[in-house]
């Protein structure tokens, strides 16, 4: 049983409920779990490389279903069309052009739903923090994106992480196909490349087997000048990103998730706020109004949320 979720029931009690099977395909992992409300059990996580084809992922989704399974819900990082077609999955290219709904129908006779990972995360936060009426949900992890939520409904879906930010010679090519978007600057994969490049130029050796981002944190903690400068650059880029989001939404709360949100952002929050107010936003007081919090279940909120989205879709409420 997956611990740490509010009000987790024991397996005996959960087996009496109508659960939903959720399968999340992210950047490096495929996660499978059975969901009832905000409760999760039978949590399994495998490396994406364990699967040779999209069909193997579908077969994994329907394997060992609970007796009272109500639906299968897919959660995909990428562009998903209403008919279930995965138009673009930048982090898992073998999903491109695949229709998980049609593929699942061949081996499963029941309700099937497919949603975007950002939608699931935003809805999950709304369920876990029911008193939070209006907020922006932002991921700062392998990639970056966001959703604006009001009164339990996603009111603005967009590709915030793929807004063009840089057009000069320093602009980087993103997995999405664009050059210079926010994700190509502050996405985890982009930061790793920057760290490796900086270390090579400065002739600094990154220990074998150590994640470059973890190495940056170590160097920052001991005050290495190059690491401090790099964190300042990251703070500036995130400030620009957040200033645009706040200028659009004027939200009192930013709910953050993703590895960098937990480990890196607290180190630079003060700098981010300072940069935002230094010519990035017309209403400087809107920066002071922001409360930055971490999702109460950053690794599970999207799994919880997509099950709720399926229910709303089935009842024609979503």
Q: What is the pLDDT of residue 246?
A: 97
Q: What is the CATH number that goes with domain 11-122+298-314?
A: 3.30.420.40
Q: What is the pLDDT of residue 143?
A: 85
3-state helix, strand, coil in the chain (%, to 5): 40, 25, 35
- CA separation for the pair 198, 229 (Å, rounded): 11
Could you tell me the CA-to-CA distances from 107 to 56, 138, 208, 215 in Å, in that order?
12, 35, 44, 45
Residues of the chain with pLDDT > 70, as a percent, come to 94
How many C-beta atoms lie closer than 10 Å to residue 157's C-beta?
14
Could you tell me the CA-to-CA distances from 302 to 7, 50, 53, 121, 308 in Å, in that order?
17, 22, 23, 4, 10
Tokens representing 164 are 């063009």
Average pLDDT on 2-21 reads 59
Residues in CB range of 158: below 8 A, 6 or more apart: 145, 146, 147
Which band of pLDDT confidence, cut at 50, 70 and 90, is reported for residue 96? confident
- pLDDT tens per residue, range 166-224: 888 888 888 888 899 999 999 988 999 999 999 999 999 999 889 999 999 999 999 99
Residue of 78 and 198 predicted with greater confidence = 198
Which secondary structure element, helix H or strand E, spans residue 20, and what is its range? Answer: strand 20-25
- pLDDT tens per residue, range 138-165: 999 888 899 999 999 999 888 899 999 9
Q: Which CATH class is domain 130-294?
A: alpha beta
Residues of the chain with pLDDT > 90, as a percent, come to 63
- pLDDT tens per residue, range 119-140: 999 999 999 999 999 999 999 9
Q: Which among 158, 162, 236 has a CA at the least distance from the CA of 194? A: 236
- CA separation for the pair 236, 271 (Å, rounded): 8
Topology agreement, domain 11-122+298-314 and domain 130-294: yes
Q: What is the pLDDT of residue 48?
A: 87
Confidence check: pLDDT of 232 > 70? yes
Which band of pLDDT confidence, cut at 50, 70 and 90, is reported for residue 13? low
What torsion do the CA atoms of 309, 310, 316, 317 make, to the nearest 10 degrees?
-20
Confidence check: pLDDT of 12 > 90? no
Q: What is the pLDDT of residue 318?
A: 44
For the chain, what are the domain ranges?
Answer: 11-122+298-314, 130-294
* Strands in 159-218 per DSSP E: none
Tokens representing 134 are 């209006």
Q: 45: which strand partners?
A: 31
Confidence check: pLDDT of 245 > 50? yes
- CA separation for the pair 57, 25 (Å, rounded): 9
Q: Is 19 left (phi over 0), alpha (psi -120 to 50) or beta?
A: beta
Confidence check: pLDDT of 89 > 70? yes
Residue of 255 and 318 predicted with greater confidence = 255
- Among 4-13, 177-186, 288-297, whose mean pLDDT is lowest? 4-13
* 4: DSSP letter: S
């Amino acid at each position: 049983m997956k611990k740490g979720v509010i009000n987790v029931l024991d397996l005996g009690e959960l087996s009496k409920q109508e659960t939903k099977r959720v399968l999340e395909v992210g950047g490096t992992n495929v996660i499978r779990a059975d969901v009832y409300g905000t409760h999760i059990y039978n949590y399994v996580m495998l490396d994406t490389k364990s699967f040779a084809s999209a069909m193997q992922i579908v077969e994994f989704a329907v394997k060992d279903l609970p007796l009272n399974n109500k639906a299968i819900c897919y959660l995909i990082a990428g562009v998903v069309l209403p008919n279930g077609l995965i138009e673009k999955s930048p982090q898992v290219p073998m999903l491109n052009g695949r229709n998980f709904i049609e593929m699942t129908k061949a081996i499963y006779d029941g309700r099937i739903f497919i949603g975007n990972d950002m939608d699931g995360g935003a809805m999950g936060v709304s369920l876990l923090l029911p008193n939070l009426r209006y907020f922006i949900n932002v991921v700062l992890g392998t990639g970056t994106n966001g959703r604006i939520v009001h009164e339990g409904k996603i009111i603005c879906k967009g590709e915030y992480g793929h807004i063009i930010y840089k057009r000069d010679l320093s602009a980087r090519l993103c997995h999405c196909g664009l050059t210079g978007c926010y994700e190509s600057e502050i996405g985890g994969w982009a930061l790793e490349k920057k760290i490796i490049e900086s270390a090579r130029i400065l002739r600094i050796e990154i220990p074998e087997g150590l994640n470059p981002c973890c190495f940056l944190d170590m160097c920052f903690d001991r005050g290495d000048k190059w690491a401090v400068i790099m964190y300042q650059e990251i703070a500036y880029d995130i400030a620009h990103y957040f200033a645009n989001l706040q200028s659009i939404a004027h939200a009192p709360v930013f709910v953050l998730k993703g590895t960098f949100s937990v480990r890196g952002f607290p180190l630079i929050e003060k700098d981010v706020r300072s940069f935002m107010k230094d010519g990035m936003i017309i209403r400087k007081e809107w920066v002071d109004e922001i409360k930055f919090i971490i999702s109460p279940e950053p690794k599970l909120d999207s799994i919880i949320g997509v099950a709720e989205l399926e229910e709303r879709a089935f009842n024609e409420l979503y």
